Structure 1
Amino acid sequence: MTTTDNTTGTPASGSDDEEVWRGFAADDEEEADVVDRRTGLALQQRARVLVADILRPHRRSVALAIVLMVAENAVMLAGPLLVATAIDTGVPAALAGRPAPLAWAIAGYAVCGLAGAGLRAAFLVLSGRVGQDLLLDLRERVFAHGQRLSLDFHESYTSGRLISRLTSDMESLSDLLEKGLDGLAGALLSVVGITVLLIWLDPVLAAVVLAGFAPLLLLTRWFQRRSRASYRRTRSTVARLIVHFVESMNGIRAVQAFRREQRNDEIMDSLSTAYRNANTSAFLTVAGYVAGVRTVGNTTLALVLLIGGLRVVDGALALGALTAFVLYLRRFYDPLDDLAQFFNSYQSAAAALEKIASVLDTPVGLPEPARPVRLPEPARGELEFDAVRFAYRRASDRTVLPEFSLHVPAGQTVALVGATGAGKSTLAKLAARFYDPTAGAVRLDGVDLRDITDADLRSALVMITQEAFLFSGSVADNIAMGGHGSRSRAEIVAAAAAVGAREFIEALPDGFDTDVRKRGGRLSAGQRQLVSLARVVLADPAVVLLDEATSSLDIPSERAVQAALETVLAGRTALVIAHRLSTVLIADRVLVMSDGQVVQDGSPEELLEGGGEFADLHAAWRASLA
């Protein structure tokens, strides 16, 4: 049974899936273009399981599509037999004054052509619908699962790679579904059917054709191995290219401010070259396979014409039978070209599917409890850190919190101060259950956070960060997030008024319906923070976590947010992380932290009077205002 590191959601050292996990994370490593054999087999197995899972709801449609394809191939295979019948029976009969056999052969050939076209059209419509349904299902799965994955996953697995999973990898799968599977099924049915007919028409010539199978099998095996490695490399390189593009565009201000354009161009050129080389390798592999197949095919055809012609001269073979044999032989090797194209699409899609399966197979870092415990209603907001130990990665040499205990009574506002890296933000993330402690427990109202459902925890606790992230859409929509989108306009307006945001919102071009644009770019930093505080009022949680909520604001904005905070924090438990001591002074209690330990604990007044680190921080802050 697989064991999982609660901190990161990855398999613990020594678990059965540890090496497999390294393969799943392989595209995060610059050198991991090709995985080892064991990991590669595990990836392929995961991909097969995923395919079976997404196909299960479409079993009937897939079965019907197979029936349509078999019927189409059956009527199309009848064509050369009708040609042979027309040459060997119909033409002599027509010359003898009996045109009916020739007419029936011609009519049969026309009917087969029309039936094949109709069956083909029905198959394409059905297979296209199923293919799009599969892609829709897969996209929704990746997106939904991505939202449930741990914070640690998203901090290590860049957004650019997730974008690659949902774009270029999905496009590879789309190409396979639109062209490849049709080519594969048609080619296999044609090859099997034609082989049977060739043996039936003339076993001697069929033996010549079957002798060509040996080099074809060797060639196909070589192509499979070579192309799989090539396409894994293309999927990794295109992911890195997308990562660099997304990072460069998201950081465009820094790029232009520090004139990094040339360096970014060099990196993009290097990544583009690597992607081109990977694709070139894949194309050369396909070209080698197609050339080999056609060489074998043309050689076989020449031998068949030579031997077959001699047998016709000797009277051992009818001319119509040889004609049908040659027609079937052309149809025999043409599908092998289709197989080459299928393998080309398949290897690209298989590599893409392995990447997608690795994301979907990533265990949720913080699973829902098997037996959840309900919080008291309403939640009081009492927080307790009981002998908590924490390291961001189990293998890390540095423990952020060596052993931390803290009790925060319900309704108390506690400020956390200290140097960067002291462990302040880690405490907030543990309280929000973005991570689970390595040891010990974090409790809310006496209940371990690991025993509380995510829905209950998010209703009782809200975290506000420095970023104050807003989504594209109206101001009202962004505030309504606090009530899970189910609050009335009157409640939204009241929440904005409670934090002093109503006036500036109503002054916007469309008031509460104004689109804040990407990441809230239409609003200032202070306005975005006020909107996020209005969310808290609407959510009405028992616990509020503030992580540097005022650090990026100018003085007027900070004062507006400070006033709003007094409303938001009233009657609620709060952990306030701040470097600006103006925010700290509203707290009931101050904890000064250093290396994951509390070195001072008391009210702001007590710590200022007693001297020590907090008094020094306060003096430095006052001096900075002068």
Structure 2
Amino acid sequence: MSKSPNVSIEIYKRLLVYVKPHIGLFSISIMGFLLYSGTQTLFAAMLKHIVDTLQTQSREGMYYLPLLFSGLIMVHGIGAYLGNYFLAKVSSNVVHALRCEIFDQYTRLPVAYFDSVNSGYLISRITNNVGEVTKATTDAVRTFIREGFTSIGLLIYLFYSNWTLSLVFIGVAPIIIILVTYVSKRLRMLSKRIQESMGDMTHITSELVTGYRVVRSYGGEDYERQRFLESSLYNRRQSLKLATTMAIHNPVMQFIIGIALSVLMYLALFFMKQASVGEFVGYLTAAFLLPKPIRQLSDANGDIQKGIAAAESLFEILDEPEESDDGTYEVERCKGALEFRNLSFRYAGANDFALRDISFKIEPGQTVALVGASGGGKSTLAGLVSRFYTHNIGEILLDGVEINAYTLANLRKQLALVSQQVTLFNDTIANNIAYGALSPASRSSITLAATDAYAMEFISKLDQGLDTEIGENGVKLSGGQRQRLALARALLKDAPILILDEATSALDTESERFIQAALQNVMTNRTTLVIAHRLSTIENADVILVMDHGRIVEQGSHAVLLEKNGAYARLHKMQFKDKTEKT
């Protein structure tokens, strides 16, 4: 459904708010376009003067006409330069500000938002949609100001010369307004569909690029090609509809104006008998100059409608509520006591609870392991501790203080997270370890963290060592090597609470053995929450919690739980059996 004209005006007005800081440059641009448009009208007036001068016997002043014409051309060029250059400057500043604001907003949005919106749309909005806004704030605004002033100037000249004849244009104005209104609605609707399909194509392309190994391994090439083909065909259909609308709109608009001009010419032949030849020629020249700016205004309206549709999607992001951060409590370094009291949690839109009535306590320096089948709620629990999601039922206490009372930055300063899905950046190994707030770390600290994570074992064999570029998401490294860099990053942070979410799942047996030894040292005097499928990695945990369907069904040490011969013992036997069979 298309937006009402009032809503579209509000969107465009909001877009123009970004022009306010550059109002000086914008004013110079307006002055330039006023000069440009004024000369257009003066050309018609000068033509009248030339013809009338030629009709006189003395032809006084005719020798100054070439100078006047040259002067008009010069002023015309200066006006065009001032208008185009300074408006382009304003536009580039506006687009830069808007693009940065959108990106900054991405850094503030909650995890739940990224869970619900596909990455292709997010990328497309900051690339393609901002490009459409560029047209709306550069080309379209330039055309509207320049050609709008030109049209107004020509109409003023026509009404000044003969206002009764010029009323013909008032007669066709309602028809033009109805046509423009209908076309504007259709252009906005089609533009929005095109932008959404661009997001879809970006998403499909992104999935192919990041998952090309899986695509090749499972013969998904035809499937991916078909997905992209269908998305591209939809985009093409909408683009053709938009082109058709514009292609029909322009001739219809020109036809209406042409009829008006024909009527005007017919009437002028009868009602301008008393006028001089110069007045007649000047009047008709101004009238016939009018269709060009009107046609360009019509074309610019298309860019404006695309820009409004694009700006609407951008403002939707800017209006999204940011990650909740109402806490005020801060501490330099917490002791690391974690307590869960009657905690239940359900994801937005889900029918079932992911966690039900969770209660347990972790003392400072303790290691607590969460085990159980996939979907049991283990990672959800870790996500709640980091406040990636907000809990409303029950409490999570850190050193006796509800975690929602902490400021987000201060809470996350106390936590170091290593997950199964390692995120690395297209940068050096050193910069990946000392990422973000850790960037001021010394080289010796980075080396020590890499050594403790058993990463220096492979880093030292690389030609550039810690300065080696690792490619997008560490594509040049093995899974185990990427995991060790993530662990080194967590170790460098030296937070009092360490969360390991399947952190050793991608390691080979040898690497795992060394990291387990390193972790024994690292976990000392540090509260550690370990989520593991490999039970062999958590046998030394102080407490093991067995989770099933969001509940804690068993808890105790490794030995105690084996003695109980319950859920944990069954999991252990199953893994031991699998290991024996593989051996």
TM-score range, shorter chain: over 0.9
Q: What do the CA deviations read for 1:580-626 (whole angstroms, capped 9, x no partner)? A: 01111131110011122111111112212232111121122222221
Aligned: 1:295 with 2:293: no
Q: What do the CA deviations read for 1:236-289 (whole angstroms, capped 9, x no partner)? A: 222212222222222212221221222222222221111111111111111121
Residue 345 of structure 2, aligned match among 390, 406, 429: 390
2:435 alignment partner, SS class: helix
Percentage of pairs with the same residue: 28
Task: Check the 8 A contact 1:391/1:438 in 2, yes or no.
Answer: no
Q: What do the CA deviations read for 1:398-446 (whole angstroms, capped 9, x no partner)? A: 0111222222111111000111111111100000111011322222222
Distance 2:68 2:287 in 1: 21
> Relative to structure 1, is the Cα distance of residues 495 and 553 closer, same or farther in structure 2, using a 3 angstrom cutoff?
closer
Residue 121 of structure 1, aligned match among 81, 94, 97: 81
- Displacement of 1:390 after TM fit? 0.8
Aligned: 1:574 with 2:538: no
Residue 531 of structure 1, aligned match among 471, 474, 485: 485
Distance 1:383 1:430 in 2: 12
- 2:233 match: 273
Residue 617 of structure 1, aligned match among 533, 549, 571: 571
Aligned: 1:172 with 2:132: yes
Residue 347 of structure 1, aligned match among 305, 310, 317: 305
- 1:547 match: 501
- Displacement of 1:52 after TM fit? 4.0
> What letter is aligned with 1:606?
V
Matches within 5 A, 1:3-402: 34=1, 44=8, 47-48=11-12, 50-88=14-52, 90-93=53-56, 95-96=57-58, 98-99=59-60, 101-312=61-272, 315-364=273-322, 366-369=323-326, 372-375=328-331, 377-393=332-348, 395-402=349-356
Query: RMSD value over aligned CA atoms?
Result: 1.9
- 1:4 match: none
Aligned: 1:419 with 2:373: yes
Q: What do the CA deviations read for 1:25-83 (whole angstroms, capped 9, x no partner)? A: xxxxxxxxx46x68x976x4773464144223222222332222223212332121111
- Displacement of 1:563 after TM fit? 2.4
Distance 1:598 1:520 in 2: 36
- Displacement of 1:201 after TM fit? 0.6
Task: Check the 8 A contact 2:31/2:79 in 1, yes or no.
Answer: no
1:212 alignment partner, SS class: helix
TM-score (norm 1): 0.89
1:167 alignment partner, SS class: helix
- Displacement of 1:572 after TM fit? 0.6
> What letter is aligned with 2:339?
E
5+ residue gaps, structure 2, are none
Task: Check the 8 A contact 2:480/2:507 in 1, yes or no.
Answer: yes
Distance 2:20 2:402 in 1: 39
Q: What do the CA deviations read for 1:92-132 (whole angstroms, capped 9, x no partner)? A: 44x32x54x22333322221210110121122111111111
> Relative to structure 1, is the Cα distance of residues 457 and 620 closer, same or farther in structure 2, using a 3 angstrom cutoff?
same
Distance 2:473 2:128 in 1: 25
- Displacement of 1:222 after TM fit? 1.7
> Relative to structure 1, is the Cα distance of residues 225 and 444 closer, same or farther in structure 2, using a 3 angstrom cutoff?
same
Task: Check the 8 A contact 1:209/1:300 in 2, yes or no.
Answer: yes
> Relative to structure 1, is the Cα distance of residues 215 and 517 closer, same or farther in structure 2, using a 3 angstrom cutoff?
same
Distance 2:133 2:440 in 1: 38
Distance 1:442 1:45 in 2: 47
Task: Check the 8 A contact 1:387/1:440 in 2, yes or no.
Answer: yes
Distance 1:591 1:519 in 2: 32
- 2:465 match: 511
> Relative to structure 1, is the Cα distance of residues 60 and 441 closer, same or farther in structure 2, using a 3 angstrom cutoff?
farther
1:586 alignment partner, SS class: coil
Q: What do the CA deviations read for 1:210-242 (whole angstroms, capped 9, x no partner)? A: 222232122112211222222122112222122
- 2:454 match: 500
Distance 2:6 2:423 in 1: 41
Q: What do the CA deviations read for 1:341-393 (whole angstroms, capped 9, x no partner)? A: 111111111111111111111111x3222x51112x32111112222221111
Task: Check the 8 A contact 2:365/2:526 in 1, yes or no.
Answer: yes
- Displacement of 1:533 after TM fit? 1.5
TM-score (norm 2): 0.95
Task: Check the 8 A contact 2:32/2:78 in 1, yes or no.
Answer: no
Distance 2:539 2:210 in 1: 35
Distance 2:46 2:330 in 1: 76
Distance 2:200 2:551 in 1: 40
